[in-house]
Structure 1
Amino acid sequence: MGAQGPDAAGPPGDRRHAPGRPPAQRVTRRADIVTDPVVGIIGPGRAGVGLALALVQAGYTVRLHGRRKKAVPKPLELTVGAADEPPAWVAQAGVLILAVRDDAISPLAEVLARAEAVRADQVVLHLSGVLGQEALAPLVPSRAALGSLHPLQTISDPATAPARLEGTWAAVEGMPRAVQAAEGIAQELGMRPFRLSGKQKAIYHAGAVFASNYFVVVEAIAQRLLRHAGLSDTDAWQALRPLVEGTFENLTRQEPKDALTGPVARGDEATIRRHLESLTRDDALLYRALGRAALELAEKGGMDEATAARVAQALATDLPPVIRHA
């Protein structure tokens, strides 16, 4: 139950805030984004520090706060305080970003709400990929604009964030003024914002996990299988790297359905069966699941029904059927 007024959710037919729709025009003046040019970030982890560096480089004044003292890159300065006390500078921030773990967002919002630290004219965003504005529910009585900003990018080294965020897509969600602020910040950092509803975020984030986190896991499995074939861990990864890089290069030029190669794509059921015979039960289950997804891609790429049926038989398992997508 959101607050009524300028930041209540618009009607379903309001095209300005349609989920999945990129913004109609670029926000070009910072005064159009927030009334106060200060952005406050609570949470000095990799995402928080990386975003802070990018914001400073873009000309924002940034405040950064954490629970414990730690070194932060210049020109950032870190204020430190107890977890149950808001930063002293909260009132200065036109936009307040909660850069904390997903399970810490609502408790932090509760701390801010109890202290009545947030005003109606402020914007409060979090960086979760899976949660929406509902994570900020304790702040609804403040009548602040609530939402989320999730750059679709990994930040393992905060120093690289300004360059990494350039060209990155970013999911934005929330109340209208929060969406406007998130889009404006994203655009000034060189990102390409797109809008989602709160209900769409979980499946969106699952897709991001497949693209990034599980990509790493699949490469680790490939490395382990080459080790079982007799290579050392180091040699296995060095052997795989050119293959991985070549695959990624293909994906920079083609969509997945056109970049797919390998035994499923060419309908080689004999090779598929030999692979399955060589694998442990757990690896075979994963191979089959991924193989069935690959078969769906191959069919989209024009594989004939007879070949697809033979490949499906080679991949046969007691797993439920693959859900076909349009």
Structure 2
Amino acid sequence: MRRRLAVLAAVPLLFAAACGGSTDAGGLKVAGAAGAEPQVTFPTGDPAAKSSYQVLNAGSGAALAKGDTVFVNLTVWTWDGKDNKKEGTTYTAKKPEPIQISDNMPKVMVDGFAKTKLGGRFMAVVAQDSYTKEEQENAKKQGTDTSKPKVFVIDPVSTLPKAAVGTATDPGVKGVKVENPGGTEAPKLTTKTDEKAPKEFVNKTIIKGTGPAVKKGQSAVVHYTGKIWGTDKQFDSSWGGEPFTVQGIGTAEVQVIKGWDQALNGATVGSRLLLVIPPELGYGAQANGGIPANSTLVFTVDVLAAY
């Protein structure tokens, strides 16, 4: 899966399940309007021992809830009572990051999102009480000090669509059937067939999106299902969980099979694609997990966003 904002690499437990918190943000003061990089003034004395959140601007856009994937601008500090170092911000690159609201993140963040609409801003203090004893021990082994709270100022910008929406057309690939239930439901892909797999790469548009084309070097956020041609065996799917992000499309840094990279480079955001990927653009002559060697792979891919 994708890396979060690089500054969070030092906070590997950020999205671990967490305990409760209050709305008292411990005397912290935040300057700046939502949509601009914030500045935080820290109080004197010891850092907060309890996690908390504070809504700074309730926002006027759509409400947010668990299960939503939200593009946010995010700034984070380490509150040590001395330097109170700013670890980083998305405002530097001017590129909001997607985060899924779920119970895998600290409860103070879930609560902050629930009380803040798009266009707003909230602050969350993630202190040691947000981690279980086991999580604290694991963090210590990884060289992370959970005794120093992290302070996040989060600006929800937009939500990620849950699926490609629009008029679906038959991709016209013999041996493959795609049912499109509509709304936010996942497409149903069937690959059980006696038809011979195509030797060439197949990239068909089932639903044509209305967004921009994915550009080289961008990241794309997608939902997908993958099956093996002829067997109808599903080996992977993101549906029912967090969407998958592919970084560095069209570059040497991309970490997906060649067929995916080719399909996503130039794809229209909002589209649903059917991909039939021959072995040379997939995993080739080597088995990969539950995928036998020389398999032809079939995917439906919903291109939800690019950034």
- Same-fold status (TM-score > 0.5): no
Which structure is richer in relative contact order (CA contacts within 8 A, separation 6 or more)? 2
Bigger fraction of residues in strand: 2
Bigger fraction of residues in helix: 1
